[in-house]
Structure formats: structure tokens, C-alpha cells
Chains A and B, each alone.
Chain A
Amino acid sequence: MALLQISEPSMAAAPHEHRLAVGIDLGTTNSLVATVRSGATTVLPDSLGRPLLPSIVRYHPDGKVDVGFAAQARQAADPRNTIVSVKRFMGRGLKDVAHVENAPYDFVDAPGMVQIRTAAGVKSPVEVSAEILKVLKSRAELSLGGALSGAVITVPAYFDDAQRQATKDAGKLAGLNVLRLLNEPTAAAIAYGLENASEGVYAVYDLGGGTFDISILKLSRGVFEVIATSGDSMLGGDDFDQRVFCWAVEQAKLPPLGARDMRLLQMKAREAKEYLTFHGEAPITAKLSSGELVDLTIDTETFCSISQTLVQKTLGPVRKALRDAGLTIEDIKGVVMVGGATRMPQVQRAVGEFFRRDPLNNLDPDKVVALGAAMQANVLAGNKPEGEDWLLLDVIPLSLGIETMGGLAEKIIPRNTTIPAAKAQEFTTFKDGQTAMTFHVLQGERELVSDCRSLARFELKGIPPMAAGAARIRVSFQVDADGLLSVSAQEKSTGAQASITVKPSYGLADADIERMLRESFEHAREDVHARALAEYRVEAQRLLEATRSALDADRNLLTPEESSAIENAMQALQKLLPETDHRAIKNATDALNRATDEFAARRMDQGIRRALAGKKIGSF
């Protein structure tokens, strides 16, 4: 009976096959990798049993790279080549980066995204992040005993399009098949909700090392629906360290510090902050390169007072998210705390006072995001656990729009719209005989273009000349399930259609990624073709498997001719699989994809009809 047929045949893995999939929390301070193994979700530790990987990358002049604890140990000795908190620079230009003056790097202002000059050459934040991801990937493959079929990487919910695209590019550069970008608070809600079988409206307060998110979610019958999200992608635990650091500099009356001393004192400031979570006061002692000894003690009261404005700063987005959700604190059933920075007692206190209830801390705030991502990765990889049929509905955090006359931003897709989403708007020409039109794509809430983030500029050419106002140019925005935008524009009034589709420009083109892969030290000896062949084979096998199970389930939707056309395309591809011509495999895969277009559409229609049939039976 239709009502009972919840699982779609194409999603289920072939029997006895478990695909290796992981969730990765690519954090500002620490990163983790987790997986679902025999039904249990666990964080995968390194060979010494340490679950966290410090998100620190050190470049040597010979091109060798240290990641994690080894890099961390040398950060004060080699600050210029040891990159910490690289997440702050993802998808950001030099002017967007806070505290540049306190970062000891040799920044290179590149278009779109800032870069850093190291002993091993100029590195983009995407490359630095990819180093962290590579280590987690090999950790997982070693621990799970096989190649990964895919990974879910988490991003702050408040990350804009540029920051998301940069993260996805880093995943690709690390050789990962990125199944999905997942918002960190949403990942935490999955882990928390599935663990506690929660129902109702929850707030997730996620204060990480460098970013702050607040998400309001409705949990009911296996659906995790984000109602509203807000945050600050430039606010996190690092800023508390910074306050302690500045306090210490002031107290010790220190002159402007060199890179090494600065990093040393920043490390001491962080240690003091962490110590204050469990103690009334903390020492800050450091021997500077001048020989001068800094010897200070900071107490809880001082720490609370110098960091009070930071704690208060998180509550603005919390209020905004509640208002956007149309809810008050009485509607919130629980507040889940996520991120290492929520360990600070003053943060716990402020959140508790605001929501008038004790925050929920029963999952490790450092691990909960990776655990939730692993659960999502497991589902996306097709290892759907029996009876665990949950669905995630997320939103975009910031409005997307386009520049109109007078430097104003016109919103096309408002913030908190459920993704995937699409919207089209029509524009017209301004001058007689105008044959080209420039579009400027923006993200943000402000009215002035200069206050929004510029995502892309592109030009539609070949508009047939006509009177001003006569052309009809339709601009379509599409946001996919990763929250990533693509924009297309088309002239509609004449048969001659000028059209263009763009991905915002800071994202790396696939060709760039291939070049970086080729250039990167590790892959220099690897045969790029062998890699492409392996990837296309996996893709081809996946498609064959999906098509086979679709035919098994729904062959009745096809005429015998249609069915044999698909079978032919499958056979053609199957025959090519053992061959080594990766282009031929790719072409045959594309051909099979085209051959199943109509079939896919019919299956989808059938799915909807069944859903409606199920609903009607259920509601009477």
C-alpha cells in the first residue's frame, strides 16, 4: 500500500554494501572526523587516541607540511609559516578580515580571497584548509580500512556564499567527494535530536573558535526544520583570547610586539581563558624575546568584565532569529549549547538568563557537530538505517539580491528561505539600442550595495537592439541544497535568446582545482589520468546501480521501447567500465544520464502522487 512505501528503492544501498562516509567538522580551532560504524556514531581519533586535530598548518621551505599538534608545537617559533584559524580567511578579502594587525602573516591581497605568503610559496585559505582535510581523510581511511565514498563538511550557518564555496573547494582539493555542506547548528540538532528523540522547537547556540551561529529548529516526527538562523561569522572564542591578550599587553605596559612574541602571548592568553573555566584565577607568564618576563594573574571577575561586550554581542542575533521565526522565548523548549567557547561560565550564564532556562549540555560541545555530520553522511551515502527515516530542511542565512539603479540592493531571495530555492525577476534595458547588461549579485540585508557582500558581476551580451524598456531580461537565482548560488540571465522578448549562467567568481574553477592538485607536492607523482579514471568509474558504477534499482522498482512507468533504450545505454556503459579510456566512460555515463531524464521525472511525479495518497489516507 502506498502509505507504507516510504523508502525509495534508488536510495537504498545494494544489500550487504556499506559505503564508507564521514562527517567532518572543519573548525576554526580544532577539526574532527566522525563516522557511523555498525549503527554507532563515533569520532575517529588519531593513532595516539586524540580525537581533535588542531586546525593549524605549518609550511616548511622544502614544501613539507605539518598539520595539527606538530604545527601547534612550533607556532610561536615559526609564526609566519604556521597558519592558525585559517577559517577566518575563507572566502574573505583582506579588508574583511578582523584583527589583521594582530595576525603575524605576510598577507597577499588577491582578488576575491586573501592569500598568505609562506616559506613554501603563496597559499590561499582554500589550500591551507585542504591540508587539514587531507589529514582527516587519511585518518578516516586508515581507521575504516578503505577509500571514502563521500564526506559531509560542516560550515557555520551564517557563512555566506563565498565562504561556503571556498569550503567546498577545499574539500575537492583534498580529494574528497563532498556529499553536502551542512550547517553546524543543524548538524548539532541532528545529533542531539536523534539521541534524545526530541520533539518541539529548539534553539542551537553555537559559539565556536571564530564564528557564532544561532538557529531555531522545529523537530517533529523525524523532520529537522530550520525556521530561522542568524549569527556573526566574525565572532568566536578567538575574540575572548584577544581580549585577554590586549589586557595583558596593557597591564604589562608592553611595546608593540614582534610576530613571535605576539603569538606566544596569544597562546598564553588562550590557556588562561581555558583555565578560568574551572578556576577563580589564572596565571599568564611568558618570557619575551627581549628577555623581559611577563608575569600576570587574571581573575574571573576581570575576565568577565573585559569580555562582557562579546557575550552581549551574541544576544543580538539571538533576538533577531527569534523575531524572524515569529517566536518568543516561551516557545523554545530547550537551548542546545555547541562549540568549545560555550564552556565559559559567563556564556552559559548569559544564555541561561536570556532564555530563562538552563542550557542543555549533555553532548560534548566539541564533538556534537561532527557526530551530526556523520549521521547525515551515512544517510547521503545510501546506508540508510532501517526505520530511521529523517529529513532535514535548512535555510539560507542571508538575503540574495541584485544591484539596481542608484546603488541599491534589490532582494530576490530573502534570508531564512528554505533551500533548495529559486526565484526569477525581470529587468529591462535603460537605453535605446542597448545590447549588453551588467548584473551585480549581492548577499546581505542592507539597502546600500556598498554594505552588502559582492558575490559576482557578469554581463549578458547579444541583447537584440530595441527601445529602452522593451527588452525582457529574466534573471534567475537558484540555491542548491548546499546553500550555493548560481545565477542565469536570459533575454525573453525575442526568439534570439542571449543567456548566461554564472557561479560567483571567487570560487575556484574545476580547472584551477585540477592544476592545484597537479602542483601539490603529494600528487606530483600521481597520475592525473589514473585519478580521473578511478573517479569516473565510481560515478559510472553508482549510476548503473541507481538505474538498475530504479528499473526494478518502476519499470511499469516506461514503454518497452523506452525501457530497452535505457538498457542499451546501461550495456554500453557496462562494456566500457574495464577499459582505461576515461573520456569514453564519461561520455557513456552522460549518455545514460540523458537516457534516464524522462524516467527520472516520471518517478518523481509518482513519488508525489504516492505522498498525497498517503496523506489523505492518514488524515481521515
Chain B
Amino acid sequence: MNAGAARALTSSGLHNHFELFGLVPAFALDLEALERSYREIQSRVHPDRFAQAGDAERRASLQWTTRVNEAYRTLQDPVQRGKHILDLRGVDVAFETNTQMPTDFLLQQLALREELESAVSRKDAPALDRLRADLSQSKKALESQIGIAIDANQDYAGAADLVRKLMFLDRMHAEIVQAYEEVE
């Protein structure tokens, strides 16, 4: 861990989302345990429970629920979960600044994008379905690689590269979902 990252960790008071849910930080997360814990906490802090309470409790409830929702959303999403673990380990995934990717990966992405454009221009919804299914497969494969890198090998730098790749696939996925609106 470098000094800069360590400083960022302490000064920003980074929340450990896993701790909030009483879970051990791991990329391969038991999503059902997460959901159980989330619901258990929500059932205690949600504003619906404090509709008749004083302002102080209602404010505390709003803040807690907001935080719990944010933490849940982060841990549910593989890219955000990966980024969060790496943040906790002092490794910056640097989505914004580090856009260098291996050439073969980029070529693959370009090819996918061309396929998408052609499916849109043909108004071919089944082609979009296929693209989406293929992409889901690739995402799953990548997620299990990230799980191994983080949980088994503690190879955080390597994991950061994989998380960045996964983020590319997520963006691609969002574009496919958006494309349905042009096709339908």
C-alpha cells in the first residue's frame, strides 16, 4: 500500500460497507446473506418506522437508510463491489484516469460495438438478445477471475485491471439495453 492511498483511506473516513452488513470482505459474496442483512437493518432504520418520531430520529433514520441503500447498491454490483474492496486494500481502480487496456480486449470491444450497430440498423431484436446473452457469459467469466484474484491470490493490482475490463463490459451492456429502445 502506498502512502498516498493510506492517507486517502484515513482522511476520507472511508466506510467499510461489508462491516455495515456484518460480512467478511470478499468479492465472491453470499448475495443472499447480504440481502438478509440489508432487510434486517432496513426494518429497523427505515423512515416508515419513524413516521411518528421526533425530528432528530427522523433525520437519523433518513441518513442511515440512505447510507444502507448506498452500501447495498455498491455491494450488489460486481464492478462497484470490486472497486470498494480494492479501495479498502488501498488500490485505486482509477476508472477515470486509467483507460489503457490490452489491444486484444479493445479490438474485441470494437467488434462487439460494430455488431451492436448493425443489429440496431437492421432493427434486429433477437440479435440484441444474443449479444446480451453472450455479454452476460463474458461478464460471469470475468467475475470469477476477479474473485480468484482478490479472494484467493490477493493480487490487487491484477484485480484492478480485471475490474476495469468488467466496467467496459457493463458500459457495453448499458448500450445494448439502450439500443432496444431504438429497435422497438
By a beta-carbon cutoff of 8 Å, the part of chain A in contact with chain B is 6, 8, 10-11, 13, 150, 179-180, 221, 223, 316, 319-320, 323-324, 376, 379-382, 389, 391-393, 417-423, 478, 480-481, 542-543, 545-547, 550, 590, 592-594, 596-597, 599-601, 603-604, 607-608, 610-612, 614-616, 618-619
A478-B53 CB under 8 A given contacts A380-B48, A418-B72, A611-B40: no
With both chains docked as a complex, state the minimum distance between the C-beta of B168 and any C-beta of chain A, in angstroms.
Answer: 18
A481-B47 CB under 8 A given contacts A316-B184, A604-B64, A615-B40: yes
**Which residue of chain A has the shortest Cβ distance to B33 in the bound complex?**
A619
Residues 5-29 of B contacting A (Cβ, < 8 Å): 20-22
With both chains docked as a complex, state the minimum distance between the C-beta of A179 and any C-beta of chain B, in angstroms.
Answer: 6
Most buried by B among A10, A421, A607: A607
Enumerate chain A residues within 8 angstroms of B37, measured Cβ to Cβ. 611-612, 615
Most buried by A among B21, B22, B54, B62: B54
**Which residue of chain A has the shortest Cβ distance to B40 in the bound complex?**
A611
With both chains docked as a complex, state the minimum distance between the C-beta of B182 and any C-beta of chain A, in angstroms.
Answer: 12
Sample of 19 A–B contacts (CB below 8 Å): A6-B43, A11-B51, A319-B180, A376-B48, A391-B46, A418-B73, A420-B65, A420-B66, A600-B54, A600-B60, A601-B60, A604-B44, A604-B45, A604-B57, A607-B44, A608-B44, A608-B64, A612-B41, A615-B37
Enumerate chain A residues within 8 angstroms of B44, measured Cβ to Cβ. 8, 604, 607-608, 610-611
B111 within 8 A of partner (CB): no
B70 in complex: contacting residue of A6, A393, A421, CB < 8 Å: A421
Enumerate chain A residues within 8 angstroms of B177, measured Cβ to Cβ. 323-324
Enumerate chain B residues within 8 angstroms of A594, measured Cβ to Cβ. 56
A10 in complex: contacting residue of B45, B52, B70, CB < 8 Å: B52
Cβ contact within 8 Å between B52 and A542? yes
B181 within 8 A of partner (CB): yes
Enumerate chain B residues within 8 angstroms of A615, measured Cβ to Cβ. 22, 33, 36-37, 40
Enumerate chain A residues within 8 angstroms of B36, measured Cβ to Cβ. 615, 618-619
With both chains docked as a complex, state the minimum distance between the C-beta of A432 and any C-beta of chain B, in angstroms.
Answer: 24
Expressed in whole angstroms, the Cα–Cα distance for A543 and B60 within the complex equals 15
Enumerate chain A residues within 8 angstroms of B52, measured Cβ to Cβ. 10-11, 13, 380-382, 542, 545-546
Cβ contact within 8 Å between B50 and A419? no
**Which residue of chain B has the shortest Cβ distance to A602 in the bound complex?**
B60
Expressed in whole angstroms, the Cα–Cα distance for A72 and B55 within the complex equals 43
Enumerate chain B residues within 8 angstroms of A323, measured Cβ to Cβ. 177, 180
**Which residue of chain B has the shortest Cβ distance to A376 in the bound complex?**
B48
By a beta-carbon cutoff of 8 Å, the part of chain B in contact with chain A is 20-22, 33, 36-37, 39-57, 59-62, 64-66, 69-70, 72-73, 177, 180-181, 184
Cβ contact within 8 Å between A8 and B49? yes
Expressed in whole angstroms, the Cα–Cα distance for A481 and B180 within the complex equals 31
| Besides the known contacts A316-B184, A550-B53, A611-B40, 14 further A-B residue pairs in the complex with CB atoms under 8 A apart | A11-B49, A11-B50, A180-B51, A221-B39, A320-B180, A381-B51, A381-B52, A419-B69, A420-B65, A546-B52, A593-B54, A593-B55, A608-B64, A612-B37
**Which residue of chain A has the shortest Cβ distance to B41 in the bound complex?**
A611
Closest 3 CB pairs of A and B: A607-B44, A600-B56, A380-B51
Enumerate chain B residues within 8 angstroms of A179, measured Cβ to Cβ. 51
Cβ contact within 8 Å between B64 and A603? no
Enumerate chain A residues within 8 angstroms of B20, measured Cβ to Cβ. 608
**Which residue of chain B has the shortest Cβ distance to A482 in the bound complex?**
B47
Expressed in whole angstroms, the Cα–Cα distance for A179 and B57 within the complex equals 16
Cβ contact within 8 Å between B46 and A319? no
With both chains docked as a complex, state the minimum distance between the C-beta of A230 and any C-beta of chain B, in angstroms.
Answer: 11
Cβ contact within 8 Å between B70 and A422? yes
Expressed in whole angstroms, the Cα–Cα distance for A546 and B56 within the complex equals 11
A320-B51 CB under 8 A given contacts A420-B66, A600-B59, A610-B44: no
With both chains docked as a complex, state the minimum distance between the C-beta of A3 and any C-beta of chain B, in angstroms.
Answer: 10
Enumerate chain B residues within 8 angstroms of A481, measured Cβ to Cβ. 46-48, 62, 65
Cβ contact within 8 Å between B48 and A379? yes
Enumerate chain A residues within 8 angstroms of B61, measured Cβ to Cβ. 604
With both chains docked as a complex, state the minimum distance between the C-beta of A178 and any C-beta of chain B, in angstroms.
Answer: 11
**Which residue of chain A has the shortest Cβ distance to B132 in the bound complex?**
A323
Expressed in whole angstroms, the Cα–Cα distance for A610 and B42 within the complex equals 12
Cβ contact within 8 Å between B62 and A420? yes
Most buried by B among A316, A376, A481, A618: A481
With both chains docked as a complex, state the minimum distance between the C-beta of A435 and any C-beta of chain B, in angstroms.
Answer: 27
Expressed in whole angstroms, the Cα–Cα distance for A418 and B64 within the complex equals 13
A421 in complex: contacting residue of B50, B53, B64, B66, CB < 8 Å: B66
